[in-house]
Amino acid sequence: MQKFTFLFSSTDHITGLIIRLTLALVILPHGCQLLFGWFGGYGFAGTMQYFTEVEKLPWLIGFMVIMLQSVGALFILFGVASRLVALGTVIMFIGMIITSHAEYGFFMNWFGTQKGEGYEYHLLVIGLALALLASGSGKWSVDRVIVKGVNGE
């Protein structure tokens, strides 16, 4: 039971809330591109086709990327299993840097002058996810409600 409560434990501090909202609001639009095709994205079928045929990712990895950036971002937004989702996000974004972005250097392609996108955005997401992993969901989170219920508070 202690492992369970650690995953969901959090202080009632506003820091976790700020980290959660920022991280979710940055990742969720990307997840909506991947899952629904919103904001110029390809949607689920097109994204899966790209991941499996062009990037040569296993189907399961492609599916997990889509789910982490869409459903996972919603979990972070509402503070549901935030530490677990943050860990998955760190692993996913490290994988993105290694497989797709490291070769283009640090900077994003702000002016369209380089072939691909660098990894500066990915480092920011990793930093926020690590902060969430360390702090927990914070104020106004489902995680806090779960732990209070388990502890009988």
Whether residue 51 contacts residue 65, with contact meaning beta carbons closer than 8 Å, is answered with: yes
Q: Which string of DSSP letters, residue by residue, matches 15-54?
A: HHHHHHHHHHHHHHHHHHHHHH-GGG--HHHHHHHIIIII
Q: Please list, in sequence order, all residues whose beta carbon lies within 8 angstroms of the beta carbon of residue 63, skipping any fewer than 6 positions away.
A: 48
Q: Measured between alpha carbons, how far is 105 from 57 in angstroms, rounded to an integer?
A: 22
Is the pLDDT at 2 greater than 70? The verdict is no
Residue indicated by tokens 């040569």: 56
Exposure of 148 by Cβ count < 10 A (0-12 exposed, 13-18 middle, 19+ buried)?
exposed
pLDDT band, very low/low/confident/very high, at 66 (cuts 50, 70, 90) = very high
Under the banding of pLDDT at 50, 70 and 90, the label for residue 135 is: very high
For the stretch 75-125, pLDDT in tens is 999 999 999 999 999 999 999 999 989 899 888 887 878 788 889 999 999
Proportion of the chain above pLDDT 90, given as a percent = 71
Q: What is the pTM of this model?
A: 0.89
Averaged pLDDT of the chain: 91
